[in-house]
Structure 1
Protein backbone atom coordinates (compact mmCIF):
# COMPACT_ATOMS: atom_id res chain seq x y z
CA UNK A 1 0.00 0.00 0.00
CA UNK A 2 1.50 3.34 -0.99
CA UNK A 3 -0.77 5.44 1.23
CA UNK A 4 -0.64 4.97 5.01
CA UNK A 5 -4.07 6.45 5.76
CA UNK A 6 -2.74 7.55 9.19
CA UNK A 7 -4.90 10.66 9.11
CA UNK A 8 -8.09 8.56 9.14
CA UNK A 9 -9.86 7.15 12.19
CA UNK A 10 -9.08 3.48 12.94
CA UNK A 11 -12.28 2.13 11.35
CA UNK A 12 -11.68 4.10 8.16
CA UNK A 13 -8.03 2.98 8.08
CA UNK A 14 -9.23 -0.64 8.21
CA UNK A 15 -11.61 -0.05 5.30
CA UNK A 16 -8.87 1.69 3.30
CA UNK A 17 -6.37 -1.09 3.94
CA UNK A 18 -8.82 -3.88 3.20
CA UNK A 19 -10.13 -2.15 0.08
CA UNK A 20 -6.62 -1.49 -1.20
CA UNK A 21 -5.64 -5.13 -0.68
CA UNK A 22 -8.85 -6.51 -2.23
CA UNK A 23 -8.74 -4.25 -5.28
CA UNK A 24 -5.04 -5.04 -5.83
CA UNK A 25 -5.80 -8.77 -5.58
CA UNK A 26 -8.69 -8.35 -8.04
CA UNK A 27 -6.50 -6.38 -10.43
CA UNK A 28 -3.78 -9.07 -10.22
CA UNK A 29 -6.31 -11.93 -10.23
CA UNK A 30 -4.61 -13.24 -7.11
CA UNK A 31 -6.99 -15.90 -5.77
CA UNK A 32 -4.95 -16.51 -2.60
CA UNK A 33 -4.79 -12.84 -1.58
CA UNK A 34 -8.38 -12.09 -2.56
CA UNK A 35 -10.07 -14.27 0.07
CA UNK A 36 -8.38 -12.76 3.15
CA UNK A 37 -8.80 -9.21 1.80
CA UNK A 38 -12.51 -9.85 1.18
CA UNK A 39 -12.84 -11.25 4.71
CA UNK A 40 -11.36 -7.99 6.05
CA UNK A 41 -13.80 -5.97 3.95
CA UNK A 42 -16.73 -8.05 5.17
CA UNK A 43 -15.73 -7.36 8.78
CA UNK A 44 -15.19 -3.63 8.22
CA UNK A 45 -18.28 -1.65 9.13
CA UNK A 46 -19.41 0.71 6.33
CA UNK A 47 -16.96 -0.67 3.76
CA UNK A 48 -19.84 -1.08 1.29
CA UNK A 49 -20.75 2.59 1.66
CA UNK A 50 -17.19 3.70 0.96
CA UNK A 51 -16.73 1.35 -2.00
CA UNK A 52 -20.10 2.46 -3.36
CA UNK A 53 -18.76 6.01 -3.30
CA UNK A 54 -15.64 4.89 -5.16
CA UNK A 55 -17.80 3.17 -7.80
CA UNK A 56 -19.95 6.29 -8.23
CA UNK A 57 -16.91 8.54 -8.59
CA UNK A 58 -15.37 6.20 -11.16
CA UNK A 59 -18.61 6.00 -13.13
CA UNK A 60 -18.87 9.78 -13.16
CA UNK A 61 -15.29 10.12 -14.35
CA UNK A 62 -15.47 7.45 -17.03
CA UNK A 63 -18.86 8.68 -18.28
CA UNK A 64 -18.73 12.49 -17.94
CA UNK A 65 -21.80 12.95 -20.14
CA UNK A 66 -23.87 10.64 -17.92
CA UNK A 67 -24.73 6.98 -18.07
CA UNK A 68 -27.32 5.48 -20.33
CA UNK A 69 -28.69 1.99 -19.91
CA UNK A 70 -26.29 0.73 -22.57
CA UNK A 71 -23.36 2.17 -20.63
CA UNK A 72 -24.41 0.33 -17.47
CA UNK A 73 -24.84 -2.88 -19.46
CA UNK A 74 -21.38 -2.50 -20.99
CA UNK A 75 -19.76 -1.92 -17.59
CA UNK A 76 -21.60 -4.92 -16.16
CA UNK A 77 -20.74 -7.21 -19.08
CA UNK A 78 -17.07 -6.17 -19.13
CA UNK A 79 -16.71 -6.73 -15.39
CA UNK A 80 -18.50 -10.09 -15.39
CA UNK A 81 -16.51 -11.40 -18.34
CA UNK A 82 -13.22 -10.31 -16.84
CA UNK A 83 -13.97 -11.56 -13.33
CA UNK A 84 -15.42 -14.89 -14.49
CA UNK A 85 -12.02 -15.84 -15.88
CA UNK A 86 -10.66 -16.23 -12.36
CA UNK A 87 -13.75 -15.93 -10.10
CA UNK A 88 -16.29 -18.46 -11.41
CA UNK A 89 -18.58 -17.52 -8.52
CA UNK A 90 -19.10 -13.95 -9.81
CA UNK A 91 -22.77 -13.03 -9.61
CA UNK A 92 -23.96 -10.50 -12.23
CA UNK A 93 -26.97 -9.65 -10.07
CA UNK A 94 -24.77 -8.53 -7.17
CA UNK A 95 -22.67 -6.41 -9.54
CA UNK A 96 -25.85 -4.86 -10.95
CA UNK A 97 -27.04 -4.06 -7.42
CA UNK A 98 -23.67 -2.43 -6.71
CA UNK A 99 -23.94 -0.33 -9.87
CA UNK A 100 -27.54 0.67 -9.15
CA UNK A 101 -26.73 1.44 -5.52
CA UNK A 102 -23.76 3.61 -6.47
CA UNK A 103 -26.00 5.52 -8.86
CA UNK A 104 -28.69 5.92 -6.20
CA UNK A 105 -31.33 4.02 -8.15
CA UNK A 106 -31.40 0.67 -6.35
CA UNK A 107 -34.80 -0.34 -4.98
CA UNK A 108 -34.93 -3.96 -3.82
CA UNK A 109 -38.71 -4.10 -4.07
CA UNK A 110 -40.85 -6.53 -2.14
CA UNK A 111 -39.45 -9.77 -3.56
CA UNK A 112 -35.75 -8.96 -3.83
CA UNK A 113 -33.61 -8.90 -0.70
CA UNK A 114 -30.39 -6.92 -1.08
CA UNK A 115 -27.17 -8.93 -1.22
CA UNK A 116 -25.59 -9.61 2.16
CA UNK A 117 -22.42 -7.77 3.25
CA UNK A 118 -20.23 -10.77 2.35
CA UNK A 119 -21.56 -10.79 -1.24
CA UNK A 120 -20.99 -7.03 -1.48
CA UNK A 121 -17.44 -7.45 -0.17
CA UNK A 122 -16.75 -10.27 -2.67
CA UNK A 123 -17.99 -8.28 -5.66
CA UNK A 124 -17.22 -4.60 -5.00
CA UNK A 125 -13.44 -4.99 -5.46
CA UNK A 126 -14.04 -6.72 -8.79
CA UNK A 127 -16.13 -3.79 -10.00
CA UNK A 128 -13.72 -1.18 -8.62
CA UNK A 129 -10.71 -2.90 -10.21
CA UNK A 130 -12.51 -3.05 -13.55
CA UNK A 131 -13.49 0.62 -13.42
CA UNK A 132 -9.99 1.66 -12.34
CA UNK A 133 -8.55 -0.18 -15.33
CA UNK A 134 -10.99 1.67 -17.61
CA UNK A 135 -10.08 5.00 -16.00
CA UNK A 136 -6.35 4.25 -15.97
CA UNK A 137 -6.08 5.64 -12.45
CA UNK A 138 -4.96 4.37 -9.02
CA UNK A 139 -7.42 3.71 -6.20
CA UNK A 140 -6.06 6.09 -3.54
CA UNK A 141 -7.55 9.32 -4.85
CA UNK A 142 -10.99 7.78 -5.21
CA UNK A 143 -10.85 6.33 -1.70
CA UNK A 144 -9.84 9.70 -0.29
CA UNK A 145 -12.73 11.38 -2.11
CA UNK A 146 -15.20 8.69 -1.00
CA UNK A 147 -14.15 9.10 2.65
CA UNK A 148 -14.56 12.87 2.34
CA UNK A 149 -18.02 12.39 0.86
CA UNK A 150 -19.06 10.08 3.70
CA UNK A 151 -17.75 12.58 6.26
CA UNK A 152 -19.69 15.44 4.59
CA UNK A 153 -22.87 13.38 4.54
CA UNK A 154 -22.51 12.48 8.21
CA UNK A 155 -21.93 16.12 9.12
CA UNK A 156 -25.15 17.19 7.42
CA UNK A 157 -27.31 14.37 8.79
Structure 2
Protein backbone atom coordinates (compact mmCIF):
# COMPACT_ATOMS: atom_id res chain seq x y z
CA UNK A 1 0.00 0.00 0.00
CA UNK A 2 1.45 3.35 -1.01
CA UNK A 3 0.12 6.49 0.63
CA UNK A 4 1.38 9.85 -0.61
CA UNK A 5 0.01 12.06 2.17
CA UNK A 6 -0.28 14.92 -0.39
CA UNK A 7 -3.05 16.57 1.58
CA UNK A 8 -0.70 17.21 4.51
CA UNK A 9 1.81 20.05 4.92
CA UNK A 10 5.41 19.11 4.05
CA UNK A 11 6.51 18.66 7.68
CA UNK A 12 3.56 16.38 8.42
CA UNK A 13 4.19 14.41 5.21
CA UNK A 14 7.74 13.74 6.36
CA UNK A 15 6.54 12.53 9.76
CA UNK A 16 3.93 10.28 8.14
CA UNK A 17 6.41 8.81 5.67
CA UNK A 18 9.16 8.31 8.25
CA UNK A 19 6.74 6.81 10.80
CA UNK A 20 5.35 4.43 8.19
CA UNK A 21 8.87 3.41 7.14
CA UNK A 22 9.96 2.93 10.77
CA UNK A 23 6.93 0.83 11.69
CA UNK A 24 7.31 -1.33 8.58
CA UNK A 25 11.03 -1.77 9.34
CA UNK A 26 10.14 -2.74 12.93
CA UNK A 27 7.66 -5.32 11.68
CA UNK A 28 10.32 -6.74 9.35
CA UNK A 29 13.07 -6.40 11.97
CA UNK A 30 15.18 -4.59 9.40
CA UNK A 31 17.81 -2.78 11.45
CA UNK A 32 19.27 -0.63 8.68
CA UNK A 33 15.89 0.58 7.45
CA UNK A 34 14.79 1.16 11.04
CA UNK A 35 17.86 3.29 11.83
CA UNK A 36 17.32 5.41 8.72
CA UNK A 37 13.61 5.93 9.38
CA UNK A 38 14.01 6.70 13.08
CA UNK A 39 16.79 9.18 12.31
CA UNK A 40 14.32 11.01 10.04
CA UNK A 41 11.69 10.85 12.78
CA UNK A 42 14.09 12.18 15.39
CA UNK A 43 14.79 15.21 13.22
CA UNK A 44 11.14 15.93 12.50
CA UNK A 45 9.61 18.46 14.84
CA UNK A 46 6.40 17.20 16.48
CA UNK A 47 6.92 13.57 15.51
CA UNK A 48 6.57 12.65 19.18
CA UNK A 49 3.14 14.29 19.30
CA UNK A 50 1.99 12.36 16.24
CA UNK A 51 3.40 9.03 17.42
CA UNK A 52 1.90 9.59 20.87
CA UNK A 53 -1.51 10.11 19.29
CA UNK A 54 -1.10 6.91 17.27
CA UNK A 55 -0.16 4.98 20.43
CA UNK A 56 -3.20 6.37 22.24
CA UNK A 57 -5.53 5.42 19.38
CA UNK A 58 -4.09 1.91 19.33
CA UNK A 59 -4.40 1.56 23.10
CA UNK A 60 -8.02 2.68 22.94
CA UNK A 61 -8.76 0.16 20.20
CA UNK A 62 -6.93 -2.74 21.79
CA UNK A 63 -8.31 -2.02 25.27
CA UNK A 64 -11.84 -0.68 24.72
CA UNK A 65 -12.73 -1.08 28.40
CA UNK A 66 -9.72 0.96 29.49
CA UNK A 67 -6.33 0.01 30.85
CA UNK A 68 -5.35 -0.80 34.37
CA UNK A 69 -1.85 -1.16 35.77
CA UNK A 70 -1.63 -4.82 34.75
CA UNK A 71 -2.61 -3.96 31.18
CA UNK A 72 0.07 -1.28 30.97
CA UNK A 73 2.65 -3.70 32.38
CA UNK A 74 1.65 -6.36 29.83
CA UNK A 75 1.86 -3.93 26.90
CA UNK A 76 5.25 -2.71 28.15
CA UNK A 77 6.65 -6.20 28.69
CA UNK A 78 5.37 -7.53 25.38
CA UNK A 79 6.84 -4.64 23.43
CA UNK A 80 10.24 -4.79 25.11
CA UNK A 81 10.49 -8.58 24.86
CA UNK A 82 9.48 -8.53 21.20
CA UNK A 83 12.03 -5.81 20.37
CA UNK A 84 14.97 -6.96 22.50
CA UNK A 85 16.24 -9.75 20.21
CA UNK A 86 16.84 -7.34 17.33
CA UNK A 87 17.01 -4.02 19.24
CA UNK A 88 18.96 -4.94 22.40
CA UNK A 89 19.27 -1.26 23.36
CA UNK A 90 15.48 -0.97 23.83
CA UNK A 91 14.89 0.96 27.04
CA UNK A 92 11.81 -0.09 29.05
CA UNK A 93 11.75 3.30 30.75
CA UNK A 94 11.33 5.12 27.42
CA UNK A 95 8.53 2.73 26.41
CA UNK A 96 6.85 3.34 29.78
CA UNK A 97 7.11 7.12 29.26
CA UNK A 98 5.54 6.67 25.81
CA UNK A 99 2.66 4.69 27.31
CA UNK A 100 2.13 7.11 30.20
CA UNK A 101 2.30 10.12 27.87
CA UNK A 102 -0.17 8.59 25.43
CA UNK A 103 -2.54 7.99 28.33
CA UNK A 104 -2.05 11.54 29.62
CA UNK A 105 -0.60 10.48 32.96
CA UNK A 106 3.12 11.16 32.51
CA UNK A 107 4.46 13.69 34.96
CA UNK A 108 8.25 13.74 35.19
CA UNK A 109 9.43 14.29 38.71
CA UNK A 110 12.24 16.59 39.75
CA UNK A 111 14.82 13.84 39.22
CA UNK A 112 13.33 12.49 36.00
CA UNK A 113 13.86 14.25 32.72
CA UNK A 114 11.74 13.14 29.78
CA UNK A 115 13.46 11.15 27.03
CA UNK A 116 14.86 13.27 24.22
CA UNK A 117 13.16 13.34 20.80
CA UNK A 118 15.71 10.90 19.35
CA UNK A 119 14.91 8.32 22.07
CA UNK A 120 11.20 8.77 21.45
CA UNK A 121 11.77 8.32 17.72
CA UNK A 122 13.76 5.12 18.32
CA UNK A 123 11.16 3.58 20.64
CA UNK A 124 7.71 4.74 19.51
CA UNK A 125 7.72 2.74 16.25
CA UNK A 126 8.54 -0.40 18.26
CA UNK A 127 5.49 0.19 20.45
CA UNK A 128 3.29 1.06 17.46
CA UNK A 129 4.39 -2.05 15.56
CA UNK A 130 3.75 -4.23 18.60
CA UNK A 131 0.25 -2.80 19.08
CA UNK A 132 -0.50 -3.07 15.35
CA UNK A 133 0.18 -6.80 15.56
CA UNK A 134 -2.92 -7.02 17.75
CA UNK A 135 -5.15 -5.03 15.39
CA UNK A 136 -3.85 -6.51 12.15
CA UNK A 137 -4.37 -3.15 10.44
CA UNK A 138 -1.85 -0.91 8.67
CA UNK A 139 -0.38 2.11 10.41
CA UNK A 140 -1.56 4.58 7.76
CA UNK A 141 -5.12 4.70 9.05
CA UNK A 142 -3.94 5.47 12.57
CA UNK A 143 -1.58 8.14 11.30
CA UNK A 144 -4.41 9.76 9.36
CA UNK A 145 -6.64 9.70 12.43
CA UNK A 146 -3.82 11.14 14.56
CA UNK A 147 -3.27 14.06 12.18
CA UNK A 148 -7.02 14.74 12.09
CA UNK A 149 -7.22 14.70 15.88
CA UNK A 150 -4.20 16.98 16.29
CA UNK A 151 -5.59 19.43 13.74
CA UNK A 152 -8.98 19.47 15.46
CA UNK A 153 -7.39 20.03 18.86
CA UNK A 154 -5.22 22.88 17.58
CA UNK A 155 -8.18 24.58 15.93
CA UNK A 156 -10.12 24.51 19.21
CA UNK A 157 -7.24 25.85 21.31
Q: Please state how far the C-alpha of 1:134 moved relative to its aligned partner.
A: 1.2
Q: 1:147: which partner in 2?
A: 147
Q: 1:106: which partner in 2?
A: 106
Q: 2:24: which partner in 1?
A: 24
**1:85-104 deviation digits (Å, cap 9, x = unpaired):** 10000000000000000000
Q: 2:84: which partner in 1?
A: 84
Q: 1:13: which partner in 2?
A: 13
Could you list the structure 1 runs, at least 4 aligned residues long, displaced by more than 6 angstroms after superposition.
none
Q: Please state how far the C-alpha of 1:109 moved relative to its aligned partner.
A: 1.1
> Is 2:84 the partner of 1:73?
no
**1:94-145 deviation digits (Å, cap 9, x = unpaired):** 0000000000000001110000000000000000000000111110110000
- Taking structure 1 as the reference length, the TM-score comes to 0.98
Instruction: Name whichever of 131-140 and 53-62 sits farther off.
Output: 131-140
- In the alignment, structure 1 segments of 5+ residues that lack a partner are none
Q: Distance in 1 between matches of 2:151 and 2:80?
A: 31
- In the alignment, structure 2 segments of 5+ residues that lack a partner are none
Q: Distance in 2 between matches of 1:45 and 1:118?
A: 11
Q: 2:55: which partner in 1?
A: 55
- Taking structure 2 as the reference length, the TM-score comes to 0.98
> Is 2:52 the partner of 1:45?
no
Q: 1:35: which partner in 2?
A: 35
Aligned length: 157
